[in-house]
């Protein structure tokens, strides 16, 4: 191997993407050819880096949805290259084989050939002499079989030349066919490689899109949960505003109810948090189902009597708003509404839904002791208990 | 001072590279000193058949003394001997036999030099690989200069020529790469040498519009000038251009020169055939760049002409000389593959500022190194240097081995030796290059 006097990268091999050629920013006042060549070769190396090898294509195709690649790696000029390949004019011609030399002319040989002379008039005389001396010649050997063999050989030669000519024509036709097929195969191979690449890029894009779709689904669910919470909160606030002006006659009862409501609100807050976690996108009536599932049998009778506005009011109370004197009339506070020891109400902060605000209990609510649980707190709830009245 | 220019063929109508080189040098040195040309009667470099009359002749006011060739070349014999010395282990005798077979075998020319060498102060030999140069150098060793015109071919690896490179008084190289090759093969670092090359006569007012009007070619043009030959890299050029033409439908490749291979039918390839010098320079001036696809060049005159016209060059990077010249002149790019061909071509065509800058650099490079005053000065300076130097310091022919030694088959194949020589452009600093100018 010859030693290199200076570093020089060799090329060849990779497919060149002509449509994405480099635009080298070169200042004309300080042209450095060596530097330009380095830039060009670096650019070529970079382009080769984006080209997938056959093995890489197979690997990527088998990975399917497990990897997400940068879509920027998709070659921008791929389609154009594909179109160019589709043009049959791009086929590199196979150099034609060399011309066959013309076969020598067939030499006709007959019985008279051995006596013929080409010396014109003198030749006739020579031929005559030879004929005359023929008997003498036959004393030494018999020329007849030689003449026969040579004439037969001449016929065979003519036949062979004809046969060879036919075979030559056939070979030329077959060669032409082979060339056409070869060209087609060459183009096909390159198209296959491009198809593999296109397919691979499609798989990659689909993978990326599917992951995007999953992410968007989760985002929509989260937004729906927040929207549900906001709707209930706004309804609760509306109801608070409506009930605030006429004060109920039994202030003590109201205070008790408000205390209960506060206490209940605290409990409800925990239940709401659990509901939000379990059914983030649920409607307003989902609250009842969630309460039924979380409060257990004993508390279910009361919780089913709580409508959506009542729950929202409790939530507002639990969030620290001054509603101690504004207990909604349709809220039925009862011991059954308080957390039961046997209930499956959430008892850990981990159960709180992430979308809910952190529970802050109003000072008045925290002062009120929680009512003792009733003995029937474990009784199954009845449908007729949902009438808005307290069992107490 | 009287000089003898010794070359294998000579004539006003002979356009071979070394022959033209020799004629230009003889005619330009004749303005400063007395020059006589010693050559053969041959016109054909294949057969060396005697076609011109022996004796004294005058060509462009230069006296030319012609000597007959004793035997024409036997192509088969030459081919067999070439295989022997290039591909197999061989002897010095085999190399000498190969040299006789190659020709032009003119013992009369060598005898003239032996008898009349004292009449010449210096003999300038052209083309190291021919009979006249090898034997002429041996009989005029003390007063001989050599213009090797060496390429990376297997003949450079023959043992007999290494002695020639060491025994001359001075070497006038065509390029730094040629000098590096010869230094590596013969270890002749002590022999004075200078990179000279050859000048060119380029018109100052070429008419590119005239070319476009005559040919009707519009749009960008790249041009190739020279023999359209596979050995010149034209097949590769056609292949690359056809691929590139897909993305450059307005680009035209113009070919000027004699075709010795089929030119592909392509709407963007125009072959103009033989043209006059004026038409050639018009075409070169109209072109955006000159492309030189040749793998082997000791010096490309058309490259120098393109640079003289301010046109950039796109050369085959596998030709060390062209790549080195492009790098040193900053007047051209080079390619080793289709990717590089496409990128470099696109870069030059798409960036007019770069194209102009490369062309300007080429013109500057030509004016600095290859105008005739520069070439003449280099020759005269070298002759003056040799005149002042002690002749005993150099220029002795190395003795050949004895009868048995010449027949000992201990020499490696010439190709093997050449393949081991360094490749790539020679590393020459700008200062070093400017110093030689």
Cβ B337–A10 below 8 Å, yes or no?
A: yes
Domain residues for the domain of B288 are 208-369
Q: Collect all residues of chain A within an 8 Å Cβ-Cβ radius of residue B314.
A: none
Question: In angstroms, what separates the C-alpha of B383 from chain A's closest C-alpha?
Answer: 31
Tell me: do B164 and B39 sit in the same domain: yes
> Which of the pair, B174 or A268, is modelled with greater confidence?
B174
CB B135 within 8 A of CB B110: yes
Question: In angstroms, what separates the C-alpha of B368 from chain A's closest C-alpha?
Answer: 17
Measured CA angle at A172 (ends A168, A174), to 5 deg? 115
Q: Which residue of B has its CA nearest to A6?
A: B424
Question: Per-residue pLDDT averaged across B301-305, rounded?
Answer: 91
Tell me: do B396 and B340 sit in the same domain: no
* B215 lies within 8 A of chain A by CB: no
Choose among B327, B356, B421: nearest Cβ to A28.
B356
Question: In angstroms, what separates the C-alpha of B18 from chain A's closest C-alpha?
Answer: 26
Cβ B338–A11 below 8 Å, yes or no?
A: yes
pLDDT in tens, A215-243: 899 999 989 999 999 999 999 999 888 88
pLDDT in tens, A43-66: 887 776 555 454 555 565 555 444
CB B380 within 8 A of CB B32: yes
Cβ B344–A40 below 8 Å, yes or no?
A: yes
Q: Which residue of B has its CA nearest to A26?
A: B354
Cβ B347–A92 below 8 Å, yes or no?
A: no
User: Of B329, B352, B369, which residue sits at a domain end?
Assistant: B369
Give the Cα separation of A346 and A272 in Å (integer).
Answer: 10
What pLDDT is recorded for position A323?
37
Task: Looking at mean pLDDT, say which of A149-153, A192-196, A372-376, B369-373 comes out highest.
Answer: B369-373
* B350 lies within 8 A of chain A by CB: yes
Tell me: do B67 and B133 sit in the same domain: yes
Tell me: do B7 and B83 sit in the same domain: yes
CATH number of the domain where residue B243 is located: 3.40.50.2000
Q: Which residue of A has its CA nearest to B319?
A: A8
Q: Report residue B130's pLDDT band, with 50, 70 and 90 as the boundaries.
A: very high
Positive or negative torsion for Cα A195, A200, A201, A207: positive
Half-sphere exposure of A254 (CA within 13 A, CB side): 15
* The two three-digit tokens of residue B425, written as one number: 């452009």
Tell me: do B342 and B397 sit in the same domain: no
Choose among B246, B331, B339: nearest Cβ to A84.
B246
Q: Collect all residues of chain B within an 8 Å Cβ-Cβ radius of residue A36.
A: 333, 347, 354
Q: How far is CA B96 from CA A139, B105, B406, in A?
A: 60, 11, 9
Percent of chain B with pLDDT over 90: 65
Q: Which residues contact A359 (CB under 8 A, 6 or more apart)?
A: A266, A269, A270, A273, A318, A319, A352
Q: Is residue A352 predicted with pLDDT exceeding 80? A: no
Write down the residue that tokens 């023929």 correspond to. A134
**How do strand B2-6 and strand B62-67 relate by DSSP bridges?**
unpaired
Phi, psi dihedrals of residue B124, rounded to the nearest 5°: -105, 110
Question: In angstroms, what separates the C-alpha of A21 from chain B's closest C-alpha?
Answer: 7
* B266 lies within 8 A of chain A by CB: no
Tell me: do B310 and B399 sit in the same domain: no
User: Of B337, B369, B401, which residue sits at a domain end?
Assistant: B369
Cβ B357–A29 below 8 Å, yes or no?
A: yes
What does pTM read for this prediction?
Answer: 0.55
Tell me: do B185 and B139 sit in the same domain: yes
Among the ranges given (A234-248, B105-119, B126-140, B244-258), the one the predictor scored with the smallest mean pLDDT? A234-248
Among the ranges given (A208-212, A260-264, B321-325), the one the predictor scored with the smallest mean pLDDT? A260-264
What pLDDT is recorded for position B106?
94
Give the Cα separation of A20 and A348 in Å (integer).
Answer: 60
Phi, psi dihedrals of residue B371, rounded to the nearest 5°: -80, 155
pLDDT in tens, B264-273: 999 999 999 8
Q: How far is CA B55 from CA B39, B65, B75, B122, B130, in A?
A: 10, 5, 27, 21, 21
Q: Which residue of A has its CA nearest to B424?
A: A5
* B122 lies within 8 A of chain A by CB: no
**Partners of residue B271 on adjacent β-strands:** B255
Q: How many CB pairs under 8 A join A and B?
A: 111
DSSP 8-state assignment for residue B411: B
Cβ A3–B423 below 8 Å, yes or no?
A: yes
Question: In angstroms, what separates the C-alpha of A54 from chain B's closest C-alpha?
Answer: 20
What pLDDT is recorded for position A105?
73
Q: Collect all residues of chain B within an 8 Å Cβ-Cβ radius of residue A16.
A: 338-339, 342
Cβ B334–A31 below 8 Å, yes or no?
A: no
Q: What is the DSSP string of B23-51?
A: HHHHHHHTTTSEEEEEEESB--TTT--B-
CB B159 within 8 A of CB B92: yes
Question: Per-residue pLDDT averaged across A67-84, rounded?
Answer: 54
Choose among A12, A26, A34: nearest Cβ to B351.
A26
Cβ A31–B358 below 8 Å, yes or no?
A: yes
pLDDT in tens, A267-292: 444 444 444 444 444 433 444 443 34
Question: Per-residue pLDDT averaged across B161-185, rounded?
Answer: 92
What pLDDT is recorded for position A310?
42
* B182 lies within 8 A of chain A by CB: no
> Which of the pair, A83 or A166, is modelled with greater confidence?
A166
Number of folded domains that form chain B: 2
Among the ranges given (A112-116, A250-254, B20-24, B372-376), the one the predictor scored with the smallest mean pLDDT? A250-254
Q: Is residue A97 predicted with pLDDT exceeding 90? A: no
Q: Which residue of B has its CA nearest to A40?
A: B343
Give the Cα separation of A87 and A90 in Å (integer).
Answer: 6
Question: Per-residue pLDDT averaged across B226-240, rounded?
Answer: 91
* B111 lies within 8 A of chain A by CB: no
What pLDDT is recorded for position A245?
63
* B335 lies within 8 A of chain A by CB: yes
Tell me: do B121 and B140 sit in the same domain: yes
Cβ B343–A19 below 8 Å, yes or no?
A: no
User: For an interface test with A, which of B315, B320, B337 has the most A Cβ atoms less than 10 Å from its Cβ?
Assistant: B337
Q: Is residue A88 predicted with pLDDT exceeding 50? A: yes
Cβ B340–A21 below 8 Å, yes or no?
A: no
Q: Report residue A317's pLDDT band, with 50, 70 and 90 as the boundaries.
A: very low
Q: What is the DSSP string of B85-142?
A: HHHS-B-HHHHHHHHHHHS-B-HHHHHHHHHHGGG-SEEEEE-TTSHHHHHHHHHTGG
User: Of B341, B369, B397, which residue sits at a domain end?
Assistant: B369
* B410 lies within 8 A of chain A by CB: no
Tell me: do B125 and B219 sit in the same domain: no
* The two three-digit tokens of residue A294, written as one number: 């979380």
Choose among B246, B343, B357: nearest Cβ to A31.
B357
Tell me: do B365 and B391 sit in the same domain: no
What pLDDT is recorded for position A284?
39
Question: In angstroms, what separates the C-alpha of B424 from chain A's closest C-alpha?
Answer: 5
What pLDDT is recorded for position B277?
87
Note which residues in 359-378 of chain B have CB less than 8 A from chain A.
Answer: 361
Cβ A36–B333 below 8 Å, yes or no?
A: yes
Q: Report residue A366's pLDDT band, with 50, 70 and 90 as the boundaries.
A: very low
Tell me: do B296 and B309 sit in the same domain: yes
């Amino acid at each position: 191997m010859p030693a290199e006097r200076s570093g020089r990268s060799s090329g060849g091999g990779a497919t060149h993407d002509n449509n994405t050629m480099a635009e080298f920013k070169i200042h004309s006042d300080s042209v450095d050819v060596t530097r330009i060549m380095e830039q060009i070769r670096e650019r070529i190396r970079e382009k080769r880096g984006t080209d997938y090898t056959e093995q890489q294509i197979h690997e990527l195709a088998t990975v399917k949805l497990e990897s997400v690649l940068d879509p920027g790696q998709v070659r921008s000029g791929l389609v154009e290259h594909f179109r160019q390949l589709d043009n049959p004019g791009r086929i590199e011609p196979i150099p034609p084989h060399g011309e066959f030399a013309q076969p020598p002319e067939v030499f006709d040989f007959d019985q008279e050939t051995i006596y013929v002379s080409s010396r014109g008039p003198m030749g006739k005389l020579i031929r005559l002499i030879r004929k005359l001396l023929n008997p003498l010649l036959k004393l030494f050997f018999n020329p007849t079989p030689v003449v026969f063999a040579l004439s037969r050989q001449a016929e065979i030669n003519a036949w062979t030349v004809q046969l060879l000519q036919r075979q030559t024509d056939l070979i030329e036709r077959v060669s032409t066919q082979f060339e056409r097929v070869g060209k087609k195969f060459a183009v096909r191979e390159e198209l296959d490689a491009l198809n593999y690449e296109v397919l691979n890029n499609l798989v990659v894009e689909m993978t990326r899109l599917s992951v995007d779709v999953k992410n968007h689904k989760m985002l929509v669910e989260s937004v729906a949960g927040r929207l549900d919470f906001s709707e209930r909160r706004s309804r609760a606030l509306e109801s608070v505003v409506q009930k605030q002006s006429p004060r109920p006659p039994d202030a003590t009862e109201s205070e008790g109810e408000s205390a209960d409501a506060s206490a209940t609100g605290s409990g409800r807050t925990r239940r709401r948090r659990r509901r939000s976690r379990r059914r983030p996108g649920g409607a307003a009536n989902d609250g009842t189902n969630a309460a039924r599932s979380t409060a257990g049998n004993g508390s279910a009778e009361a919780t089913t009597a709580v409508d959506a506005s009542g729950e929202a009011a409790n939530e507002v109370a639990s969030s620290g708003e001054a509603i101690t004197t504004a207990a909604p009339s349709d809220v039925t506070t009862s011991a059954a509404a308080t957390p039961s020891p046997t209930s499956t109400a959430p008892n850990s902060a981990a159960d709180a839904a992430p979308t809910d605000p952190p529970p802050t209990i109003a000072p008045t609510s925290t002062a009120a002791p929680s009512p003792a649980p009733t003995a029937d707190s474990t009784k199954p709830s009845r449908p007729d208990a949902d009438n808005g009245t307290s069992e107490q | 001072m009287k000089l003898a220019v010794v070359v294998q063929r000579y004539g006003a109508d002979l356009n071979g590279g070394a022959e033209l080189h020799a004629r230009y040098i003889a005619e330009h040195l004749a303005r400063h000193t007395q020059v006589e040309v010693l050559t053969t009667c041959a016109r054909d470099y294949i057969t060396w058949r005697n076609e011109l009359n022996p004796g004294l002749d005058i060509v462009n006011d230069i006296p030319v003394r012609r000597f007959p060739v004793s035997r024409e070349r036997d192509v088969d014999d030459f081919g067999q001997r070439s295989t022997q010395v290039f591909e197999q282990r061989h002897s010095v005798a085999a190399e000498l036999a190969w040299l006789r077979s190659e020709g032009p075998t003119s013992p009369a020319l060598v005898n003239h030099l032996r008898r009349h060498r004292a009449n010449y102060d210096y003999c300038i030999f052209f083309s190291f690989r021919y009979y006249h140069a090898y034997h002429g150098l041996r009989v005029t060793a003390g007063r001989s200069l050599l213009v090797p015109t060496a390429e990376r071919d297997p003949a450079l690896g023959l043992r007999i020529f290494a002695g020639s490179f060491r025994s001359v008084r001075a070497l006038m190289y065509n390029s730094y790469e040629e000098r590096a090759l010869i230094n590596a093969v013969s270890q002749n670092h002590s022999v004075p040498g200078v990179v000279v090359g050859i000048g060119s006569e380029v018109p100052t007012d070429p008419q590119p519009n005239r070319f476009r009007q005559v040919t009707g070619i519009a749009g960008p043009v790249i041009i190739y000038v020279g023999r359209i030959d596979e050995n010149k890299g034209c097949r590769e050029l056609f292949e690359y251009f056809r691929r590139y033409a897909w993305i450059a439908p307005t680009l035209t490749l113009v070919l000027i020169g004699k075709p010795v291979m089929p030119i592909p039918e392509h709407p963007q390839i125009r072959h103009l055939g033989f043209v006059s010098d004026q038409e050639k320079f018009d075409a070169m001036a109209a072109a955006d760049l000159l492309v030189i696809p040749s793998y082997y060049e000791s010096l490309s005159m058309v490259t120098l002409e393109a640079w003289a016209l301010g046109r950039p060059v796109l050369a085959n990077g596998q030709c060390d000389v062209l790549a080195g010249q492009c790098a040193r002149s900053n007047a051209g790019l080079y390619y080793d593959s289709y990717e590089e061909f496409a990128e470099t071509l696109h870069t030059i065509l798409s960036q007019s500022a770069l194209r102009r800058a490369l062309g300007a650099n080429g013109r500057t490079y030509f004016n600095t190194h290859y105008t005739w005053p520069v070439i003449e000065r280099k020759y005269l300076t070298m002759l003056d240097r040799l005149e002042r130097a002690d002749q005993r310091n150099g220029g002795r022919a190395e003795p050949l081995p004895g009868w048995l030694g010449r027949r000992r088959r201990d020499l490696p194949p010439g190709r093997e030796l050449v393949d081991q020589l360094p490749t790539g452009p020679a590393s020459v600093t700008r200062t070093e290059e400017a110093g030689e100018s």
